[in-house]
Chain A
Amino acid sequence: MRSFAVLLGKEATALFSSPIAYVLMTVFLLIMGYSFTLTLFLSHQPSMVHIFFQMFVLFMLTVPLITMRLFAEERKLKTLEVLLTAPVSEVAIVLAKFLAAMSLIVVMLVLSGTYAAALAWFGDPDFGPIYSGYFGLLLFGSALVGAGLLASALTANQVIAALISLSVFLLLWIIDNFGWLLPSPADTLVVNLSLSVHFRPFAVGSIYLSDVGFFLSVTLLTLLLTVRALARR
Chain B
Amino acid sequence: MLSAVSPVVVAERVTKWYGPRRAVADVSFAIAPGEIVGLLGPNGSGKSTIFRMLTGYLVPTSGRIEVAGHDVVEDSLGVRRAISYVPEDAPLYDHMRVSEFLHFMAGIKGLHGPKARAAVDEAAERLDLARVMRLTTGKLSRGFRQRVSIAQALLGDPKVLVLDEPTSGLDPHQVIAVRDLIQSLSGRHTVLMASHILPEIEKMASRVMILLDGVLLTPDALKDAAQDLALRLSADATEDAVRSATKTVAGVREIIADPSSAGRLLIMAERRPLLAEDLVSALVAAQIPLRELTELRPDLERVFLDLTRPEAAA
A interface residues (Cβ-Cβ under 8 A, vs B): 2-3, 5-7, 10, 14, 17-18, 77-79, 81-89, 232-233
Is B110 in contact with A3, judged by CB distance below 8 angstroms?
yes
Which B residue sits closest to A81, measured CB to CB? B87
Is A85 in contact with B56, judged by CB distance below 8 angstroms?
yes
| One of B91-99, B176-184, B253-261 contacting the partner | B91-99
Is A79 in contact with B95, judged by CB distance below 8 angstroms?
no
Query: Which of A18, A78, A232 interacts with B89 by CB under 8 Å?
Result: A78
Which B residue sits closest to A96, measured CB to CB? B108
Is B59 in contact with A2, judged by CB distance below 8 angstroms?
no
| One of B30-38, B77-85, B207-215, B306-314 contacting the partner | B77-85
B interface bracket (residues with beta carbon within 8 Å of A)? 20 to 34
Is B112 in contact with A232, judged by CB distance below 8 angstroms?
no
A173, chain B: closest CB distance, angstroms: 34
Is A6 in contact with B91, judged by CB distance below 8 angstroms?
no
21 residue pairs of the A-B complex, CB under 8 angstroms, read: A2-B110, A3-B110, A6-B108, A10-B93, A77-B91, A77-B93, A78-B89, A79-B93, A81-B52, A81-B57, A81-B91, A82-B85, A82-B91, A82-B152, A84-B56, A85-B56, A86-B108, A87-B110, A89-B77, A233-B57, A233-B58
| Residues 25-78 of B contacting A (Cβ, < 8 Å) | 52, 55-59, 77
Q: How far is the CA of A233 from the CA of B104 in the complex (A)?
A: 25
B232 sits at the interface (CB 8 A): no
Which A residue sits closest to B164, measured CB to CB? A81
B107 sits at the interface (CB 8 A): yes
Is A17 in contact with B85, judged by CB distance below 8 angstroms?
no
B109 sits at the interface (CB 8 A): yes
Is A85 in contact with B91, judged by CB distance below 8 angstroms?
no
B interface residues (Cβ-Cβ under 8 A, vs A): 52, 55-59, 77, 80-81, 83-85, 87, 89, 91-95, 104-105, 107-110, 112, 152
B240, chain A: closest CB distance, angstroms: 59
Q: How far is the CA of A232 from the CA of B94 in the complex (A)?
A: 27
Query: Which of B57, B85, B108 interacts with A7 by CB under 8 Å?
Result: B108
Is B58 in contact with A86, judged by CB distance below 8 angstroms?
no
Query: Which of B87, B107, B112, B152 interacts with A78 by CB under 8 Å?
Result: B87
Question: Which residues of A have CB within 8 Å of B57?
Answer: 81, 84-85, 233
Question: Which residues of B have CB within 8 Å of A18?
Answer: 95
Which B residue sits closest to A14, measured CB to CB? B95
Is A3 in contact with B107, judged by CB distance below 8 angstroms?
yes
Q: How far is the CA of A79 from the CA of B96 in the complex (A)?
A: 12
Is A86 in contact with B105, judged by CB distance below 8 angstroms?
yes
Question: Which residues of A have CB within 8 Å of B108?
Answer: 3, 6-7, 83, 86-88
Q: How far is the CA of A17 from the CA of B55 in the complex (A)?
A: 31
Is A6 in contact with B94, judged by CB distance below 8 angstroms?
no
Count chain A CB atoms within 10 A of each CB in B77, B81, B93 and give the residue with the most: B93
Q: How far is the CA of A3 from the CA of B111 in the complex (A)?
A: 8
Is A86 in contact with B87, judged by CB distance below 8 angstroms?
no
